[in-house]
Chains A and B, each alone.
Chain A
């Protein structure tokens, strides 16, 4: 099972909005509405930001939003803050083995 495809890095200035893409296939993202997004700060464990494509767990800022179109999903962060600088991972349910992660995207806040 190949990893989902994410850009290696993205950047933005404080207050701006950025979008991170996550591309899969019809066997994973395109076939199910089970896309999740995680934030991971250096040396820390992952934190769930989005599940079921666009739902946020309680306590997660509404600056984080998710969407999906076809075989691709996106995470948008609005009103960028310095604390958003981290690695971001998408994941999806997949028909073959159950779960697959993306390669990860490093967000730099300029």
Chain B
């Protein structure tokens, strides 16, 4: 069965960077793009960016331009999201989600909590 398993929670200080991993299994990794979505406490879902796992092309939300980088390792069926220059407003649960086609996200990782606090 399809599974997306993310790395564990990480506490970060303002100005630091965080790297969250998302390991896929149960399907051909390069057949589906992967998106990253975050949710601050009590807030809405916010799309961050995506990676075409077949060719490595990426696209990012303008809200994160210059601070986010999404990469993938096809040999490990794993995608990574790195967010830099963290501030308190970046405290959120970060999710990876598989593009099921037509921009519907059919499988989601369990979420990774990243608190940013001094």
Contacts and interface: CB of A to CB of B under 8 A. Distances in A.
Interface of A: 1, 3, 33-34, 36, 38, 40, 45-48, 50-52, 57, 89, 91-93, 96-104
Q: Which of B44, B63, B104 has the most CB of A within 10 A?
A: B104
B15 interface: no
B103 A46 contact: no
A45 to B, nearest CB: 5
Task: Please give me the 4 A-B residue pairs with the lowest Cβ-Cβ distance, nearest first.
Answer: A51-B104, A36-B104, A99-B47, A101-B45
Interface string B83-118: 000000000000101001111111011110000000
A101 to B, nearest CB: 4
Nearest to B43: A104
A34 B45 CA distance: 17
Interface residues of B, number: 26
A81 B109 CA distance: 27
- The A interface, classified by DSSP as helix, strand, loop or mixed, is strand
Contacts of B101: 51
A96 B62 contact: yes
Contact of B108 (A46, A91, A96): A46
A36 B62 contact: no
B29 interface: no
Contacts of B62: 1, 96-97
Contact of B47 (A48, A98, A104): A98
B106 A98 contact: no
A40 B39 CA distance: 12
B82 interface: no
A25 to B, nearest CB: 16
6 contacts: A38-B45, A46-B45, A48-B104, A57-B104, A57-B106, A97-B59
Given A48-B100, A51-B100, A102 B44 contact: yes
